[in-house]
């Protein structure tokens, strides 16, 4: 049985990235998740127990994590929970792992700037409704980018994986993505 879990916490180790001999990218790090509660008697926040998780991301998520997440940052992780008992000689313990499905910065603690990667753009454009795909391909949705002070402009991204002369890939990599959330 696979249980799904969503966690918030602090990236406690530098994310470790490797690519297997079959070409599968993998990134992992340790996550420290501490519950806090407000003590009305002393009128301050008190830390509770810290739970430790090993978070592992695969494929494009692994590539994006190693390029975006650093030790000491607060993140939100959603994925599949695995609890494993282990034994090594005279030592034994339990490891709690999360195979990440989604991972990002916890915006309750700060701000973040999103840059869409080219390789995930190509894979995900087929899943977009036609009007959203048109915006990404240069449609006239003026709300997709802005050049107001303090706001991201369309010139902040890199050209990750873009071939020379591939203007569409370069434009996708540079354009901030607007996400419509239905209520």
Better-predicted residue by pLDDT, 112 or 181 = 112
Better-predicted residue by pLDDT, 170 or 64 = 64
Check residue 76 and give its pLDDT.
Answer: 95
Beta strand pairing call for 44-58 and 3-11: unpaired
DSSP per residue, 87-129 = EETTEEEEEEEEEEEEEEE-TTS--------HHHHHHHHTTS-
Distance CA(129)–CA(104), nearest Å, equals 24
Nearest to 113 by CA among 177, 40, 50: 177
Check residue 63 and give its pLDDT.
Answer: 93
Tally of CB atoms within 10 A around 100 = 22
Please report which confidence band the pLDDT of residue 74 belongs to, taking 50, 70 and 90 as the band edges. very high
Q: Return all residues near 165 (Cβ < 8 A) that are at least 6 apart.
A: none
Q: Return all residues near 172 (Cβ < 8 A) that are at least 6 apart.
A: 116, 118, 121, 136
pLDDT at 22 over 50: yes
DSSP per residue, 41-82 = TTTEEEEEEEEEEEEEEEHHHHHHHHHH--TT-EEEEEEEEE
Dihedral pair phi/psi, residue 115, rounded to 5°? -125, 120
pLDDT in tens, 133-153: 444 444 444 444 334 444 444
The helices-and-strands tally (H runs, E runs) of the chain is 4, 6
DSSP state of 182: -
Distance CA(157)–CA(177), nearest Å, equals 11
Check residue 116 and give its pLDDT.
Answer: 84
DSSP state of 139: -
Check residue 81 and give its pLDDT.
Answer: 94
3-class secondary-structure state, position 60: helix
pLDDT in tens, 98-123: 999 999 999 988 898 888 877 654 44
Hey, what domains does the chain have and what are their CATH numbers?
A: 3-105 (2.40.50.140), 118-174 (no CATH)
């Amino acid at each position: 049985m696979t249980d799904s879990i969503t966690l918030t916490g602090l990236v406690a180790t530098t994310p470790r990235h490797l690519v297997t001999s079959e070409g599968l990218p993998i990134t992992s790090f340790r996550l420290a998740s501490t519950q806090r509660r407000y003590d009305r008697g002393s009128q301050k926040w008190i830390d509770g127990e810290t739970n430790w998780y090993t978070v592992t991301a695969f494929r494009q998520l692994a590539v994006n994590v190693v390029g975006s997440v650093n030790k000491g940052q607060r993140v939100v992780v959603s994925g599949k929970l695995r609890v494993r008992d282990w034994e090594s000689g005279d030592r034994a313990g339990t490891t709690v792992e999360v195979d990440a499905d989604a991972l990002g910065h916890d915006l309750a603690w700060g701000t973040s700037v999103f840059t869409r990667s080219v390789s995930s753009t190509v894979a995900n454009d087929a899943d977009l409704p036609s009007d959203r795909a048109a915006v990404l391909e240069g449609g006239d949705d003026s709300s997709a980018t802005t050049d107001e002070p303090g706001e991201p402009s369309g010139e902040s991204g890199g050209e990750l994986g873009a071939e020379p002369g591939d203007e569409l890939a370069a434009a996708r990599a540079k354009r901030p993505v607007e996400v419509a959330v239905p209520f």
